[in-house]
Amino acid sequence: MTDQIEVAELHGQPVIKLQTPDGAVALVSLFGAQVLSWTPAGGEDRLYLSPQAVFDGRSAIRGGVPVCFPQFGDRGPLPRHGFARQRRWVVSNTRAGKEYAVATLSLADDDETRALWPHAFAAEMSVAIGGSRLDLELEVTNTGDAPFAFTAALHTYLKVREAEALRIEGLRGLEYTDAADGGRLKKETGIGVVIDDEVDRIYHHAPPTLLLREDHRAMGIHAENFPDVVIWNPWVDKCAAVADMPADGFRRMLCIEAAAVREPVELAAGASWWGRQSLVAM
């Protein structure tokens, strides 16, 4: 480790702390390879981490950027959102320069994962910060001798000042699956998506770049090789039923998730896939 990359603790759990000379900082949990905090240079934390999140080394952590793999949601036989977010990853590489810091964490199959999902794999999660930018990349390799398929997402919780006062631009005209309305397929007609009720949508064939606008700031959200984008806010009733979120937590968060959901990724033996999400604070 270097003075820009060090091992630290958050609520008793080990994290990697990335920092750059210009003041950007991120915390990445070894449990789940989950980014828990990201403060761009000269700014404030732009990721939502629930004040009631559980840090026991077993439970999924509510907030930050959970890694959903090899299953998104309940679209399959595995535990919700797969097992990667509840596994201990190892730090496989770190590097830093004058304008950046990067950490890569790795996960491979073992007896416990194969009992749930009988495939050999290697996964890497790379986290890079610098200036006003956070870059996240998930790479999956089929290390076995038979093909497999999976769904995945970077379940990004953004911290917002007021959910009802924001607007998401770039989704007009897209088809989406509305999980809050029985999974019906709909078409987005609004110039900007606003949050004034429960929103649980998977937009298909998403454009590479979206813009999240708030009253006095914005966030550019860029994705590569993820064909879907998930927009989620639980709103009043569902948030109140979530044990690890405060009752008013829905007002301070919005999930915009780079995802591969509708069409599972199919990997031949020895093949690799990657997907990336970048956030740029404005």
Which are the catalytic amino acids?
Answer: 155, 257
**Dist. CA 137–CA 115, nearest whole Å:** 26
Under 8 Å between Cβ of 17 and 34: no
Q: Which two tokens stand for residue 136?
A: 């996240």
Q: Which two tokens stand for residue 217?
A: 């700031």
DSSP string, the chain: -BTTEEEEEETTEEEEEEE-TTS-EEEEETBTTEEEEEE-TTS---B-B-TT---SSSSPPSBSB-EEBS--TTSSSSSTTBSGGGSB-EEEEEEE-SS-EEEEEEEE--HHHHHHS---EEEEEEEEEETTEEEEEEEEEE-SSS-EEEEEEE--EEE-S-GGG-EEES-TT-EEEEGGGTTEEEE---SEE--SS-EEEEEES--SEEEEE-SS-EEEEEEES--EEEEEE-HHHHHHT-TTS-TTGGGGEEEEEEEEEEEEEEE-TT-EEEEEEEEEE-
Q: According to the 3-state scheme, what is the secondary structure of 181-199? A: HCCEEEECCCCEECCCCCE
